[in-house]
Structure 1
Amino acid sequence: MLSFKFLRSTILFFALSASLSSCFSRYIISAKQVKKHYALKKVRPTETIIKNDTLSLCVASVGADTLPMLLLIHGAPGSLWGYMNLMDDEDLQKQFHIVSVDRVGYGKSKLKRKRFVTSIEMQAKVLLPIFALNKSDEKITVLGRSYGAPIAAKLVSLVPDQVKELIMISPVIDPEKEKFYWFSKWGRNSFIQLFLPGEFNTATAEKYSHSDELRKLLPVWQNLEVPTTVIQGGNDWIADPTNIDFAKKHIKSRRAQYIFLYNAGHMITYTHLSMIKEMLMKNRLFQDKISSIVVSNKEGSLGN
């Protein structure tokens, strides 16, 4: 009887571990996948490690460093390679020095003596050295997706004079709308974590502190003055669609714009790439008389 119970528990444990790993595997891109993706491409982003006594920060960049910088900040879990479609775009490469970063705790980025960095403020501060890579005479465009959106906002608040605009896509910013799933509590089990990808464990640690961290961020929204765009999908199962309502309520700046895509899910940077490109290249969202845009068509185009 004991052997049967042990066997059943063992099978259940490994099944649970496999299930947890597969839940977010599509958000984690392996080195093998990256190598295969760029095998036949003419241009591959240059990977660089920014180091000091306590920090290792991995970034991938493409485009001349004398062009205006576009800084890309991923969610949880995720990696800098989650923005490959933006980095690969030839039009964007000609207009921007595109820099995508592994946040601390993901990929090759880490802080010494810290396994997890759940503080939004700390996650933002460690990104400041990237600004030194801007060799252009123009300010930086900062784009953050999902859990990366509030980190992007905090980063912008630290150096607003160096930022041209802030773009938050599928943002998780409302402290009262943090979503938990059936597997969330299992991901906190220290033994199970031994069998899970490090990025998954980092994401779990962030999730259970995220609401408290977002409450600390409330003053940031009120004082945000740089031009800001919030883009939210109506069919987003990760970021509650009402996050856009939170943004409208708490961002006091008149230079904030809101786009709600009724049929979009979470990965808007992939499903609505043409819209993101148009926004970045033509800057059409920041016309003085536009305050809110609702897009219902599949492509999400803003026009020619």
Structure 2
Amino acid sequence: MSSLKFLRTPVLFIAISLSLSSCFSRYIISAKQVRKHYAQKDVKPVERIIKNDTLSLCIASIGSDTLPMLLLIHGAPGSLWGYMNLMDDEDLQKHFHIVSVDRVGYGKSRLKKRRHVTSIATQANALLPVFELNKSKEKVTVLGRSYGAPIAAKLVSLVPEQVKELVMVSPVIDPEKEKFYWFSKWGRNSFIQLFLPKQFNTATAEKYSHSDELKKLLPVWQSLQIPTTVIQGGNDWIADPANIDFAKKHIKSKRAQYIFLYNAGHMITYTHLSMIKEMLLKGLLFKEKISSLDRVSDETAITGN
């Protein structure tokens, strides 16, 4: 009987570990899944590592680097491959140099001697080298989803002169609305963490420091002046829908717009791809239309017709 009691706790912990892994498996895309996804595709993203003395940053890019850059920042847990549908889109490929990045602590991205990086400021600073890849004459469009949204905002505040616009999708930005679940405390258990994916453990570390980190970000919202779009779903079980109210209250810029999708969940970049595309392309397509009209006017002037 005593031996059964001895085994009960480890078995319970392993069962919880399996349950947690199952809950979040859909947010973690394996290398095998990526290979299978691109096996039959003619156009594939190019993966590379940006390195310096302290940083290894993994990115995947697609589209000519002479096109305006679209920088994609994932949430927690997650990876750069969580944006495959945007990277695969032919219309976006024609108009953007699309760069999706693994945040430090995820995938192959890491800071030297740092297991988890919970600081929003450190996460944002680690992404600065990506801007050096922008070979176009245009500013960068930055899109951050979920936990990636506040990191995107902090990044933009560091180099506002290099950014065209900020898009935050399903943002987790209100320090008073951080959600915890039945499994949250179990995810901090060191024994259970042995059986969980690295991304999940990193996400757990971020979650328990996130509220304090968001409080540090408050001055950023006040000073944000570039065009900013906040998109929130009404049926989002991860990012409290009230996050959009926080954004409206704290973002003082008159160049901000807010889109509330009453029936949408958390993964808006998948469920509302056409809307995201239209929003990202509107400026570029308008510019192309004007250029086309200018060419027609010039030709008319030359021929006299």
Equivalent residue runs for 1:1-304 within 5 Å: 1-283=1-283
Which consecutive residues of structure 1, in runs of 5 or more, have no partner in the other structure? 287-304
SS at match of 1:200: helix
Q: Distance in 1 between matches of 2:264 and 2:25?
A: 21
Q: Distance in 2 between matches of 1:201 and 1:9?
A: 21
Displacement of 1:153 in angstroms is 0.1
Relative to the length of structure 2, the TM-score reads 0.92
Q: Distance in 2 between matches of 1:210 and 1:162?
A: 27
In the TM superposition, structure 1's runs of 4+ consecutive aligned residues that sit over 6 Å from their partners are none
**Which deviates more from structure 2 when the two are superposed, residues 164-173 or residues 186-195?**
186-195
SS at match of 2:50: strand
Q: Deviations over 1:163-188 (max 9, x none)?
A: 00000000000000000000100111
Q: Give the greater-gyration-radius structure (CA).
A: 2
CA RMSD of aligned residues (A): 1.1
Q: Distance in 2 between matches of 1:90 and 1:6?
A: 57
The letter of the residue matching 1:48 is R
SS at match of 2:17: helix
Displacement of 1:8 in angstroms is 2.3
SS at match of 1:24: helix
Relative to the length of structure 1, the TM-score reads 0.93
SS at match of 1:82: helix
Identity across the alignment (%): 85
**Which deviates more from structure 2 when the two are superposed, residues 1-10 or residues 34-43?**
1-10
Contact 2:104 2:123 in 1 (8 A): yes
Q: Which structure shows the higher helix fraction?
A: 2
Which consecutive residues of structure 2, in runs of 5 or more, have no partner in the other structure? 287-305
Q: Distance in 2 between matches of 1:118 and 1:197?
A: 17
Q: Distance in 2 between matches of 1:150 and 1:7?
A: 43
Q: Distance in 1 between matches of 2:9 and 2:218?
A: 44
Contact 2:74 2:145 in 1 (8 A): yes
Displacement of 1:90 in angstroms is 0.4
Q: Deviations over 1:213-264 (max 9, x none)?
A: 0000000000000000000000000000000000000000000000000000
Q: Deviations over 1:58-95 (max 9, x none)?
A: 00000000000000000000000000000000000000
